[in-house]
Amino acid sequence: MNKTKRSIVCRCEDISEEDVLKAIDEGYTDLEELRKKLRIGMGPCQGRVCIQLVMKILERKTGKKIPKAALQTPRPPLVPVSLGTLAGEEK
Amino acid sequence: MKNKADVVIIGGGVNGCSLAYGLTRKGLDVVVVEKKYLASGATGACGAGIRQQWSTSENAELAIESVKIFEKLSKELGDDIEFRQGGYLITVHDENEMKQAEKNVAMQRSLGLKVDILKPDEINDVVPILDVNGMCAIGATFCQTDGHANPFKTTFAYAHAARENGAEINTYTNVVGLKTKNKELNAVVTDKGIVKTNVVVNAAGIDSKGIAEIVNLDLPLVPFRKEIMATERMKPLFDAMVISFKDGIYFSQQREGQIVGGIPIPEERSGYKTMPTISFMQHMSRTLTRYAPVLKHVNMLRHWTGFYDVTPDARPILGEVKELKGFIQCNGFSGHGFMLSPMVSKLLTDLIANNKTSDVLMSLNLSRFKGKKIEREMSVVG
């Protein structure tokens, strides 16, 4: 284990603040590009835990305010649902 | 923003970015204009698959050559694009499909592709979780060198390399006009400024039709909304992409462990509507759990939509149009833009930088839709 302190911003994909800062330094300064590079918001939480944090880090680092409209599109089913349940009864 | 360039590429998807990379390597001055962010259209919504098993030789040839480029691409671009060759398993469900499969395989083999026809009892050797009876499969075709790559990382890697070579990539920039003079292009007008250029590449996905309309060119593109879903992560279960032309389903397990796949819904209509549907979730879950019953306890996490820009023969429109000098098409991929992009951008680079054309490029020109009989690509899923 790495003994240095890691601040986790995305628990689903195990992404730390350092990972986000590194990606921003590499040129991923758009919230969507950052999300697609690091898979933030693609896990079971669907961005509820991480997106606000990543947005704040990005705003702090770039000094630019991110408009609310830039937030990711909500993607159904919003909470994890089993394929068996969604399949339901065949008619 | 630069006020002139050798080439302006409209569209920051995988094709626009890979072409920008190819052209800048030849020393050309390239400007890319993207209305949202990189890979925000079909590239970013796609299923990540790379397939060489086609029914038309043009698509097969483009795909075979693309795979050769994909194999070396991580090294070439200095960025891991997560390319892997787990194969594509195409399930066959009846005698008619088997006849078409045999015809396809013969053509693919003539191009040097290694592809096998599997008996039903050989299917589980490739993908153990499949229920061969539930799928009603009478066989399958399998090509081990088909596979996957990460579409975002591929696009970003191309864009990064293109920028290093001097390309200017402008995101959140809209094209509002194209200026012509004596039936020749001479500038692209955007909401951030005007770029003088004699070569414009229309690689704008479903928006390519609108771009062409600016210069009164009618592209036979129809947008089809496609839906696709991802499950939670699991341990590695199988390597191949599974597809069925009969049921329209495709699914595979991605590197991180999630299953990603899609299927058309029965009431599917063309159009620009983007909302995901409950019908898709039901139809996908029913078909997927019929193919692989063990997945019924697995959670679906999210599903999203993307667009196929579909042409009358499901093959792309490539190359310069006769109607306007300097106007190059790179669209109409009909759902296969990602997997064909390495070779497409190579051919278009040869055309733009060296004025070199090829048989494939000629046969995929827009002019093919005028009066002539066209051969339709049969091997389409999703």
Candidate from B40, B256, B282 with C-beta closest to A86:
B282
3-state DSSP assignment of residue A3: coil
Domain count, chain A: 1
Q: B308, B325, B359 — which closes off a domain?
A: B308
Residue A68's pLDDT band (boundaries 50, 70, 90)?
A: confident
- Do B331 and B187 belong together in one domain? yes
B interface mutation test: which of A86, A89, A91 has the most B CBs within 10 A?
A: A86
Assess B169–A contact: CB distance below 8 Å, yes or no: no
Domain contains B258: yes
- Do B365 and B229 belong together in one domain? no
3-state DSSP assignment of residue A59: helix
Domain contains A25: yes
Cβ distance B37 to A32 less than 8 Å, yes or no, reads yes
Domain contains A20: yes
Look up the CATH number of the domain holding residue A66: 1.10.10.1100
- Do B35 and B173 belong together in one domain? yes
Task: Locate the chain B residue with the closest alpha carbon to A91.
Answer: B286
Task: Specify the pairing of strand B7-10 against strand B30-33.
Answer: parallel
Domain contains B74: no
Distance from CA of B121 to the nearest CA of A (A): 26
Give the CA radius of gyration of chain B.
20
3-state DSSP assignment of residue B111: coil
- Do B272 and B201 belong together in one domain? no
Per the structure, the complete domain to which residue A36 belongs is given by: 8-87
> How many other C-beta atoms can be found within 10 angstroms of the C-beta atom of residue B271?
11
- Do B203 and B351 belong together in one domain? yes
Which has the closest alpha carbon to A34: A21, A49, A48?
Answer: A21
Candidate from A32, A73, A83 with C-beta closest to B289:
A83
Chain A residues with CB-CB distance to B225 below 8 A: none
Domain contains A71: yes
Domain contains B379: no
pTM: 0.94
Q: How far is CA A1 from CA A6, A38, B256, in A?
A: 11, 21, 21
Q: B308, B325, B341 — which closes off a domain?
A: B308
User: Which amino acid is residue B200, in one-letter code?
Assistant: V
Contact in structure between B45 and B276 (CB atoms under 8 Å): no
Domain contains A3: no
Candidate from A32, A46, A87 with C-beta closest to B289:
A87
Domain contains B66: no
Chain A residues with CB-CB distance to B37 below 8 A: 30, 32-33
Cβ distance A82 to B297 less than 8 Å, yes or no, reads yes
Domain contains A26: yes
- Do B300 and B161 belong together in one domain? no
Assess A71–B contact: CB distance below 8 Å, yes or no: no
User: Which amino acid is residue B18, in one-letter code?
Assistant: S
Domain contains A1: no
Name every residue whose Cβ is closer than 8 Å to that of residue B20 and which is 6 or more positions away in sequence.
Answer: B9, B30, B32, B158, B159, B162, B167, B169
- Do B207 and B319 belong together in one domain? yes
Q: B308, B337, B354 — which closes off a domain?
A: B308
Cβ distance A77 to B288 less than 8 Å, yes or no, reads no
Cβ distance A81 to B156 less than 8 Å, yes or no, reads no
Q: How far is CA A18 from CA A13, A14, A38, A77, B359, in A?
A: 14, 11, 12, 31, 50
What ipTM does the predicted assembly reach? Answer: 0.87
- Do B294 and B357 belong together in one domain? no
B window 171-190, beta carbon within 8 A of A = 171
Q: Which residues pair with B196 in a beta bridge?
A: B4, B187
Per the structure, the complete domain to which residue B250 belongs is given by: 84-147+222-308
- In a structure prediction context, what are the per-residue pLDDT tens digits for chain B, which is 382 residues long? 999 999 999 999 999 999 999 999 999 999 999 999 999 999 999 999 999 999 999 899 999 999 999 999 999 999 999 999 999 999 999 999 999 999 999 999 999 999 999 999 999 999 999 999 999 999 999 999 999 999 999 999 999 999 999 999 999 999 999 999 998 999 999 999 999 999 999 999 999 999 999 999 999 999 999 999 999 999 999 999 999 999 999 999 999 999 999 999 877 777 777 788 889 999 999 999 999 999 999 999 999 999 999 999 999 999 999 999 999 999 999 999 999 999 999 999 999 999 999 999 999 999 999 876 777 888 888 7
Domain contains B170: yes
> How many other C-beta atoms can be found within 10 angstroms of the C-beta atom of residue B93?
17
Look up the CATH number of the domain holding residue B252: 3.30.9.10
Q: What letter would DSSP give residue A65?
A: P
Residue A1's pLDDT band (boundaries 50, 70, 90)?
A: low
The per-residue pLDDT for A3 is 61
- Do B182 and B198 belong together in one domain? yes
Output the six-digit token pair for B248.
Answer: 């329209």
- Do B131 and B238 belong together in one domain? yes
Q: Give the Cα separation of B47 and B305 in Å (integer).
A: 11
Contact in structure between B63 and B54 (CB atoms under 8 Å): yes
Q: What letter would DSSP give residue B84?
A: B
Task: Give the dihedral sign, CA B254/B258/B259/B260.
Answer: negative
- Do B243 and B133 belong together in one domain? yes
Name every residue whose Cβ is closer than 8 Å to that of residue A21 and which is 6 or more positions away in sequence.
Answer: A57, A61
| pLDDT mean across residues, chain A | 87
Task: Give the dihedral sign, CA B181/B182/B185/B186.
Answer: negative
3-state DSSP assignment of residue B157: helix
> How many other C-beta atoms can be found within 10 angstroms of the C-beta atom of residue B98?
15
| Burial per residue of B232-267, b for 16 or more beta-carbon CB atoms within 10 angstroms, e otherwise | bbeeeebbbbbbbbebbbbbbbbeeebbbbbbbbee
Q: Give the Cα separation of A56 and A53 in Å (integer).
A: 5
3-state DSSP assignment of residue B182: coil
Q: What letter would DSSP give residue B153?
A: H
- Do B102 and B201 belong together in one domain? no
The per-residue pLDDT for A91 is 47
Look up the CATH number of the domain holding residue B170: 3.50.50.60
Candidate from A32, A43, A83 with C-beta closest to B296:
A83
Domain contains A50: yes
Domain count, chain B: 2
Contact in structure between B74 and B81 (CB atoms under 8 Å): yes
